[in-house]
Amino acid sequence: MDVAATLTLVAALTALLGCQGEPRPPYTLPEPYIADASPDSRPPIDARDTPPEDAAPDSAPIDASPDTDAPLDSDLLDSAADSATPDVEPDTTPPRSCDPDSPTFEDDGLTEPVMTWIPIHDAEGRAAVCNDGSPAGYYLRRGTGDGLGRWVILLAGGTICATPEMCDALWERAPSLMSSTLNGPTRGGGGLFDVDPERNPDFYNANHVWIPYCSSDYWSGDQAASDMTGGWHFRGTRILMATLDDLADPALTPAPNLYHADEALLVGNSAGGVGLLSHLDRMAEALPCVQVRGFNDAGWGVNFETFRPNQLPIDLAATYAQGVWNGQVDQGCGDSQGLDGMCFFADVSAPHVTTPFFTYIGQQDSIQLGALGVNQPFDEEEEAFITRYRARLQESLSPLSGAFSPASGPHTVGGSGHFQSFRVDGISVQEVFGNWYFDREGPRRLIEP
């Protein structure tokens, strides 16, 4: 998550809710978000009403009025979408059977050097659009050889915005984080996406999918553009679900596709790591014949005190944002917490996630500390705060079966060479993750004291 965006949201809400240096009064969220955040009033993903005519956006930078409330009509993901909303009838369609005699596939063994951009099929009709209403998409490189049945799918990181002013400012500063119109036709990748078999022997020839982040909502939103949102869409949930659906559709992704996969690794970088914890179980439920695993790469934020007493608590900021986005979170966590924003914190959501995942997080990550109001250079008071924060972070990691947490390290590793090169006591992230993922001998948890 971007420090500037977090601090901007905190500052904006601090001013809005009246806590500029004075003793904090009881917090109340402004209208109209209270209604939107009610668990009883949250509409299901596949049964949202078209916004009223008087809610048509006036300030969207491009046409924000396509038919963006069409249902997700994917039979692969129907059950996952329904499970996100307890107020709808459960899907009684039997799950797809896992064919014990899976077909075998052959290929020419040649790995493409780059991933190629593919727009989501009928993105506007399925509401799988970026903040500006442009169709979202993904980069794909097909696997080869013994990697044909292995998929590595990345939710890219970026920033968030939750008020029209924040989103307008983000558009001016970084429009590529809110639109697909600036995406190039191809892209490369490092780390888990490196095609060099010497550097990346486990995943070099897997199917590689890189999904750019353009919804500014921790990949959670399902909110159409309106006056309330300043004309911006928040559709992170639909972007992910539509991408998975397209990758499993033989008409769009020829076999062997995601439906035929043996295993699928969902990687979430930074803000994408928050989205990973929201959607990993949904992905596993949608792909019952596939071994699904997760890699939370620096999206491990804990609910912790803010450094400055007059700073808006991050849990309240998250509550506000979830209401704006109509954020869809992990089902188990949502049932427990409702829409109070707490499920964006890893220490709250992770206990509810049943699909195995690995976590990388630096204990002095500048993004996480910046969200709490601490930035370099640190004074003695900030150093003491960081010591308390590190203790809480280490505690939150203790239940995990796989983790790599250095005292200090790069922000993310999964999509870059840091995956191979960054080490603690001579042991790389790649080695610890490989031990965990493939059940190898050696350390599967490295948490630096």
Q: What is the DSSP letter of 21?
A: S
For the chain, domain boundaries: 3-86+106-447
Q: Is 204 exposed, middle or buried (0-12, 13-18, 19+ CB in 10 A)?
A: buried
Structure tokens at 362: 């630096």
On whether the CB atoms of residues 232 and 164 are closer than 8 A, the answer is yes
Give the integer Cα–Cα distance in Å for 262 and 243. Answer: 18
pLDDT at 313: 78
Q: Which amino acid is at 431?
A: E
Residues 95 and 102: their CA atoms lie apart, in Å, by 17
Segment-wise mean pLDDT, segments of 10 residues, the chain, 449 residues = 46 36 24 27 28 30 30 33 33 49 63 93 98 98 96 97 96 98 97 98 98 98 96 98 97 95 98 98 96 98 89 84 95 89 95 98 95 93 97 98 97 98 98 98 97
Model pLDDT, residue 286: 95
Backbone phi, psi, residue 208, to 5°: -110, 125
Strand, coil or helix: 418: helix
CB-side exposure of 36: number of CA atoms within 13 Å? 24
Structure tokens at 268: 């979430």
The CB density around residue 175, as the number of other CB atoms within 10 Å, is: 16
* pLDDT score for 104: 63
H or E element, residue 445:
strand 445-447
Find where tokens 């920033």 sit.
159
d(CA 302, CA 395): 10
For residue 322, give both structure tokens. Answer: 């979830």
Q: Which of 223, 221, 330, 322 is nearest to 285 (CA)?
A: 330
For residue 108, what pLDDT is reported? 60
Q: Which among 330, 356, 346, 352 has a CA at the least distance from the CA of 397?
A: 346
- The residue type at 5: A
One-letter amino acid identity for 160?
Answer: I
Q: Tokens 């799918």 label which residue?
A: 153
Cα atoms in the 13 Å half-sphere on the side-chain side of 386: 20
Question: Quick check: helix, strand or coil at residue 401?
Answer: coil
Burial per residue of 93-114, b for 16 or more beta-carbon CB atoms within 10 angstroms, e otherwise: eeeeeeeeeeeeeeeeeebeee
Cis peptide before 256 (omega within 30 of 0): yes
> Which pLDDT does position 191 carry in this prediction?
98
The reported pLDDT for the residue numbered 298 is 97
Residue 195 exposure: Cα atoms within 13 Å on the Cβ side? 18
End-to-end CA distance of the chain: 24
Radius of gyration of the chain (CA): 21
What is the model's pLDDT at position 16? 35
Q: Where are the alpha helices (DSSP H) in 213-362?
A: 236-247, 271-286, 314-325, 331-337, 346-349
Tally of CA atoms within 13 A in the half-sphere of 422 that contains its CB: 24
Give pLDDT, residue 97.
57
